[in-house]
């Protein structure tokens, strides 16, 4: 049987092409499954998404995008705050996945209590609001900030050292037995951090694309 | 780069080879990803798992199996009660996934409230205990029984008609916007039921294998 | 002592001036307190806010507005979905109140279980998500839809009859001992409905303005 | 239209007239709204309410009072343990508000997590029981004691210094973004503490009277 | 070893001696354990406890009683609303048990979901408040009223028929697998109702005295 | 009236006869009630129950035992992980009690927040899963490990010193006002620890037998 062409579209809502390139690389392992995995940059997004205003700025552009792209079988919004997820779901019958949702759910399948490493202190309050909305707070060990800039978060040894520090804190003091990287651009550190901490470390974009594959492969 | 050989082992804890064959078929769509997906029957399991005693009977045989199979990268226990999941996790460093856990988490990524179709009324109390343990009751619309035998559940038009009835009840009266098939052997009805109901219908074995792929592809 | 000039700005995020006029009238009783209560229309808002897309369309215009109006002591966003509340709070040090939040909290001060009358069935899922985020679901009796258009909701005997029907259902079948009007434009029915049902009926805009007074009078 | 005479009665359940005088002063800002705000002392109350026995001693006298005062449109029981609130509500059709309830609800309208400054360590257990009954524990950052006598709490620089200490602890270590003064007699410190801490500080009597105004102005 | 004299005091807070006599009889089975079980009437209690005002009327007399009776090793307050439990605990180092608390906890040891048969509709709201305070609502199937007078509740075939009706409703429609008699005076129906319904039926006074024995026998 | 012969069977699921002897001694105070209290060793159990595998190894032998012993009126499974409780309940109409369940419920009758002293760190995760299943996490202060071997836990001054340390930590830092000994074999320390800490200390086997008496005495 000739297989139809299927496609997952991973949208980086910020306009930083380097981040999009990193996503693309992080998703290489998933490209063997016969499903196209396309990473694109939301050209009119802000350079980084750090504040609530950045989130609001991308919701309708994301909505427009999911409406335009009729060739896609599953959308993944690759920003940890899951911007625009509800308006995108309203706008299309195609499945739209958020990486915070998928990252948390992936953690719940592998441990009792998840910890989250946020890039910035200021994001935690917003993330916790979302976790309350998901009604999963009882399974949260803690969310702690690495206090890196988004740029720093995507590269560098200093970053890795800081992730290890925060990860150990979550594991040893908060009782986390899984760790979620609370940002779209840290996948390159995942395996190393997992080796260092000895507990599953989850990159939320990879988690979301795995969920997307689980849906798209059945179409 | 030469890819290493990777393997997901899906264990049917009952000794009914027909069920195992059905699992194997249901997982065909996931076999394109370059990861071996092997379905096996727990030879010393009971013919069906319906009672708590059936669950207890398979926990240590499952544990033995996961200890013996050093060639596996992720185990999936393919019975909706997730029998032996904790003892298996204790026995191996390899990831062990349960299909109830993965099925519920897959539903949470796609809707607000999930409904579950149980085969038998008597299983519901056990399942709800597990959902309380997962701490996801706030997202449950309801679990309702189709009151089919496990054998009936794997085949037949009568079964399909009954699934539609219960699914409609969950969707219209309980407010479910996703439906989980609360048994390992109903995947053949998934797509049809989804088309009929207009909301995502989740086969928990497929959901768990998708989760397993998300882990194994990163090894 | 000469009292400084204080001002509450109630923003109707839709561009329907008739609704704004209704808000203004509904707030007359609060205008005796020596605080200016100004109702304004968000000129670039949609004519009605019914979908998630309508909400997203007003978040940044609301943000701009709260940034521009340096003469205001407390903002009230007068749409039951509390659009833009987080981005507005980020943008200003002035207090920003949402009417869903304030309506629910006003109900919690007066009874054990609150019921909500939504205008449209389709809004309920969005509202429940917000109630989960507030973590007040344990106090919700139920939310039920009147299935009126926003236009109908602001006037007419047919509307009133329907509100009574839904209110009785919430009170008698769901156990609500307070009722919230789940829309910004139904204040004209509040007193009548309260008389009819014999339990407190809360207009969320009035509730929010009362909260605003409680803050502004202390400045 | 000639406005009818409306009246909020704030009852200090202890017999300490100095406390009542303080309440009266703290409510001055709310007296501009054309509603009489009367503060009275429960003459047969204990001199201070610190123990459960003090609470029990005032429930029926409060009930008698609300039954006698037919000229009142809303009662506020001005003790943070909300003594007698249920028996008073049973005894009259007039609204009866509790200051703990209203203080907490006012905090929930303005932040994610509230902290409470109790006067005495021994009260915390009782307050937490009440917060569990309200089902708002998920929004509590923490309650911490200033360990002041009620007398100390109403005046003095030493008191203010201690409030700042405890408030900082709640804000910085417990993550509170609003602070409630967990006693009826500390309003004179509210504005100063708010200025010092940079987060909203709520006096529960003022919060309750604002809620009362929101009800009475609509009569 | 000569055993010291130990005593459980069961206090009927209403002044109806017939009820006290019924308690005494219901506790006969527990009198074999070498611990004195004394039932007494609170002479200054109301004839029945139906309203919040009745509860408030007995709190301080109960407190006085537990303070006076230095010869008691465990107090049981035999009214389903657990009146005065906190003030009594404050007043004595001797253990004070409430029958609602103990009845609910006894049910939780024997099933997944408990149902409660209240005598009067009007009591349910008060009971639910207490269950929220205990934080056990997730295990409640439902509380339903038999709508009997307290007098009726203690005797009569009509009463028994009504209990069966309500019990079946709780079991079949609400999913209760244990039933609590939500009143101090219905023990005579316990065994019959249990035989009829086929699920454990719990008399809260007997449950509390069993808890008391568990404490007193270890002194 | 000649009393029928009634019997509680307390099953020690490990094969350590010394532990069984300790249980027997700890239950002496309950043997005055005219009910036989028999302690037996599960001969084919492991020497100690420390791991999940130990738990799984005893579930079916326990089931067999409860099926064989038709002369018993209530079974108590005397291991803090409540192994096999659900399969035993399925296998017999006789009541089966678990000591973790009964210990926690006994604590809830006597305080606001319970602390648990676990023998081993590794057990805590398993216990917390069970507490989540019971839905009582909101009442847990904390569970902390004494990090003793099971053998050490049954005897010795060193053990007692360690229990005091952990108990103080739970009381002073976690706010526990009751303490549960999280193991079947520590009853000999109960009274001493209670005297030392000044809060109720609960041995879960004694708590379960008290619950059993409450059921059996009514047969």
User: pLDDT exceeding 90 applies to what percent of chain B?
Assistant: 84
The helix (run of H) or strand (run of E) holding residue F11 is: strand F7-12
From F96's Cα to the closest Cα of chain B, the distance in A is: 15
Largest CA distance in chain C: 54
Q: Which residue has the tokens 């309750």?
A: D208
- Chain F contacts of A178, Cβ < 8 Å? none
Q: Do chains B and A touch (3 or more CB pairs under 8 A)?
A: yes
Decide if F109 touches E, using CB distance below 8 A: yes
CATH number for position A177: 3.40.50.12500
> E125–C112: do the CB atoms touch at under 8 Å?
yes
In the complex, which subunits touch C with 3 or more CB pairs below 8 angstroms?
A, B, D, E
Decide if D177 touches A, using CB distance below 8 A: yes
| β-pair partners for E202 | E180
Q: Which residue has the tokens 């998920």?
A: D138
Dist CA F164 CA F177 (whole Å) = 14
Q: Mind listing the pLDDT tens digit for each residue in A22-50?
A: 999 999 999 988 999 999 999 888 888 98
Domain assignment present for residue E1? The answer is: no
Domain identity same for F13 and F35? yes
pLDDT classification of D2: cutoffs 50, 70, 90: very low
- Chain A contacts of C133, Cβ < 8 Å? 129-130, 132-133
Decide if A114 touches F, using CB distance below 8 A: no
From B91's Cα to the closest Cα of chain F, the distance in A is: 8
Domain assignment present for residue F1? The answer is: no
Of residues E190, E179, E57, the one with CA closest to residue E110: E179
Higher pLDDT, F106 or C50: F106
pLDDT at E115: 98
Q: Which residue has the tokens 């150990």?
A: A168
From A56's Cα to the closest Cα of chain C, the distance in A is: 7
Q: Mind listing the pLDDT tens digit for each residue in B99-117?
A: 999 999 999 999 999 999 9
Say whether pLDDT at A183 is over 70.
yes
Domain identity same for F114 and F137? yes
Interface test with F, best of D52, D121, D125 (most F CBs within 10 A): D125
CATH number for position A33: 3.40.50.1860
Dist CA A203 CA B16 (whole Å) = 38
User: pLDDT exceeding 70 applies to what percent of chain D?
Assistant: 95
pLDDT at C33: 87
Domain assignment present for residue D1? The answer is: no
Dist CA E167 CA B26 (whole Å) = 45
User: pLDDT exceeding 70 applies to what percent of chain C?
Assistant: 95
Q: Residue A107: is it exposed, middle or buried by C-beta count within 10 angstroms (0-12/13-18/19+)?
A: buried
Say whether pLDDT at C82 is over 80.
yes
pLDDT at F48: 87
> A56–C57: do the CB atoms touch at under 8 Å?
no
pLDDT classification of A86: cutoffs 50, 70, 90: very high
Domain assignment present for residue A104? The answer is: yes
Largest CA distance in chain B: 54
Domain assignment present for residue E198? The answer is: yes
pLDDT classification of C47: cutoffs 50, 70, 90: confident
Domain assignment present for residue B1? The answer is: no
Interface test with E, best of D88, D133, D135, D140 (most E CBs within 10 A): D133
Interface test with D, best of E45, E54, E56, E131 (most D CBs within 10 A): E56
- Chain B contacts of A206, Cβ < 8 Å? 214, 218
Neighbours of E3 (CB within 10 A): 9
The helix (run of H) or strand (run of E) holding residue E202 is: strand E201-202
SS (H, E, C) chain D: CCCCCCEEEEEECCCCHHHHHHHHHHCHHHHHHCCEEEEEECCCCCCCCCCHHHHHHHHHHHHHHHHHCCCCCEEEECCCCCCCHHHHHHHCCCEEEEHHHHHHHHHHCCCCCEEEEECCHHHHHHHHHHHHHHCCHHHEEEEEECCCCHHHHCCCHHHHHHHHHHHHHHHHCCCCCEEEEECCCCHHHHHHHHHHHCCCEECHHHHHHHHHHHHHCCC
How, if at all, do strands A140-145 and A114-118 pair?
A: parallel
Domain assignment present for residue D123? The answer is: yes
From A197's Cα to the closest Cα of chain B, the distance in A is: 14
The ipTM value here is 0.94
Domain assignment present for residue B46? The answer is: yes
Q: Mind listing the pLDDT tens digit for each residue in B45-84?
A: 888 898 999 999 999 999 999 999 999 999 999 999 999 9
The answer to whether residues D139 and D176 touch, using CB atoms and an 8 Å cutoff, is: no
- What is the interface size between A and B, counted as CB pairs within 8 Å? 95
Dist CA E192 CA E186 (whole Å) = 11
Q: Which domain holds residue F12?
A: 6-98+206-216
Domain identity same for E16 and E37? yes
- Chain E contacts of B142, Cβ < 8 Å? none
Decide if E122 touches C, using CB distance below 8 A: no
Nearest to A90 among C53, C89, C133 (CB): C53
Say whether pLDDT at B155 is over 80.
no
From B95's Cα to the closest Cα of chain E, the distance in A is: 31
Q: Residue C153 in 3-state DSSP?
A: helix
Domain identity same for D154 and D198? yes
- Mean pLDDT of all residues belonging to chain A: 94
Say whether pLDDT at A153 is over 70.
no
pLDDT at F33: 87
- Chain F contacts of E88, Cβ < 8 Å? none
- How far from each other are the two terminal CA atoms of chain F, in whole angstroms? 14
- Chain B contacts of A202, Cβ < 8 Å? none
C-alpha dihedral sign at A195, A196, A199, A201? negative
Decide if B121 touches E, using CB distance below 8 A: no
Q: Mind listing the pLDDT tens digit for each residue in F116-169?
A: 999 999 999 999 999 999 999 999 999 999 998 766 665 577 899 999 999 999
Count: domains in chain D: 2
In the complex, which subunits touch B with 3 or more CB pairs below 8 angstroms?
A, C, E, F
Interface test with E, best of C136, C138, C176 (most E CBs within 10 A): C138
Domain identity same for B90 and B113? no
Domain identity same for B55 and B75? yes
Give backbone dihedrals phi and psi of F214, rounded to 5 degrees, phi first.
-60, -25
- Chain F contacts of D125, Cβ < 8 Å? 112, 177
Domain identity same for C129 and C163? yes
pLDDT at D148: 80
Domain identity same for A199 and A105? yes
The mean pLDDT of B8-22, rounded to a whole number, is: 94
Domain identity same for B156 and B106? yes
Q: Which chain B residue lies closest to F133 (C-alpha atoms)?
A: B133
pLDDT at B153: 60
pLDDT classification of A1: cutoffs 50, 70, 90: very low
> E177–B129: do the CB atoms touch at under 8 Å?
no
Domain identity same for E198 and E149? yes
Residues 35-94 of D with CB under 8 A from C: none
Q: Mind listing the pLDDT tens digit for each residue in A104-114?
A: 999 999 999 99
Decide if D34 touches C, using CB distance below 8 A: yes
> A125–D112: do the CB atoms touch at under 8 Å?
yes
Domain identity same for E45 and E87? yes
Low-confidence ranges of chain E (pLDDT < 50): 1-2
Interface test with D, best of A122, A125, A173, A174 (most D CBs within 10 A): A125
Domain identity same for C28 and C52? yes
Decide if D31 touches F, using CB distance below 8 A: no
Inter-CA distances, B151 with B124, B148, B191, B206, Å: 18, 8, 20, 20
Round the CA-based radius of gyration of chain A to a whole number and report it: 16
Q: Which chain B residue lies closest to F58 (C-alpha atoms)?
A: B56
- Chain C contacts of B138, Cβ < 8 Å? 132, 137
């Amino acid at each position: 049987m000739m297989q139809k062409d299927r496609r997952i579209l991973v949208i980086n809502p910020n306009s930083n092409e380097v981040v999009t390139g990193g996503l693309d690389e992080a998703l290489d392992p998933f490209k063997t499954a016969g499903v196209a995995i396309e990473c694109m940059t939301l050209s009119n997004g802000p350079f980084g998404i750090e504040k609530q205003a950045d989130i609001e700025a991308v919701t309708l552009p994301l909505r427009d995008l999911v409406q335009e792209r009729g060739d896609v079988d599953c959308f993944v919004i690759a920003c940890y705050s899951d911007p625009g997820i509800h308006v995108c779901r309203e706008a299309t019958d195609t499945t739209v996945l958020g990486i915070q949702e998928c990252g948390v759910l992936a953690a719940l399948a592998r441990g009792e209590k998840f910890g989250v490493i946020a890039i910035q202190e200021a994001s935690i309050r917003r993330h916790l609001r979302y976790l309350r909305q998901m009604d999963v707070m009882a399974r949260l060990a803690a969310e702690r900030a690495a206090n890196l800039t988004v740029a720093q978060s995507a590269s560098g040894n200093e970053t890795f050292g800081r992730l290890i520090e925060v990860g150990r804190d979550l594991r040893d003091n908060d009782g986390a037995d899984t760790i979620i990287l609370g940002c779209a651009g840290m996948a390159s550190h995942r395996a190393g951090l997992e080796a260092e901490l000895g507990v599953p470390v989850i990159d939320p974009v990879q988690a979301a694309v795995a969920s997307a594959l689980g849906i798209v492969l059945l179409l």
